[in-house]
Amino acid sequence: MNTFKPNDKVVCINARPQSFGVRSEDVPHVKLPNGFIEKDAVYCVREVVNLRTGDGLFIVGPQVFLYGRPVPWNGLRFRKVEQKKQRKKRKAKKAVPVKVEN
């Protein structure tokens, strides 16, 4: 299970509209002014809220409005972007003195 925090980079793993989780009578009141999230797209977490199903994410980019109020995306639709655990350090090679014979 992911635990998200603001400024985390996340990748969308579920962009299926049919699992949107809105009751059928509420569908006409859902607005997506920036479009829907896209699978494999990377987003930045703006805010994390607790939902019954786990974390809810407000992300930079696509937003959801229900009856004119912003609602979070379900955190189960995302996973954290894996950061490289170790960065390779590049060392400059030491110059080897060259002997010149006369």
pLDDT in tens, the chain (102 residues): 568 999 999 999 999 876 566 777 888 888 999 899 999 999 999 999 998 878 999 999 999 999 999 999 999 999 999 876 545 555 566 666 677 776
- With 0-12 CB in 10 A as exposed, 13-18 as middle and 19+ as buried, what is 12? buried
CA atoms of 44 and 24, how far apart (whole Å)? 29
Nearest Cα residue to 64 out of 4, 13, 21 = 21
**Cα 52 to Cα 75: distance, rounded to the nearest angstrom:** 11
pTM over 0.85: no
